[in-house]
Structure 1
């Protein structure tokens, strides 16, 4: 990973974005389920501790699996995952 990409990944959660749409995120999430189930979200050892950490993970997944996700799509996925799995304030 280049230094610039690392900086973007680290700073991305700090960007002021509007809240995502969990319904749209749920539809996007269907493509995630083609490779893994929801069990990867809940093991205590892998449980994320904040909304910012969740956003960083979605950005990382997006970069690895589907670099075409927009900022809005990332926020939609974060909103869905937070609503249905993580429940961060």
Structure 2
């Protein structure tokens, strides 16, 4: 199933994205545990708010990191992994 850039990612129920001082970084908390996210995943995860589409997230990141090459592939890859791992739902 290909990724629709107009779909809106939502963290699944029971999952929470937050900064964790003890981990010195952003994490994804869920009932069975925690996942520490790298800087790229944290930047993407911080924009998942249930309001922005995948395309809007890409646009916001391109504006913030204007010197970076096209970030579309990185965002799409994150969304695919997050969906496969059941961290997010795309609506």
TM-score, with length taken from structure 1: 0.34
Bigger relative contact order, structure 1 or 2 (CA pairs below 8 A, ≥6 apart): 1
TM-score, with length taken from structure 2: 0.34
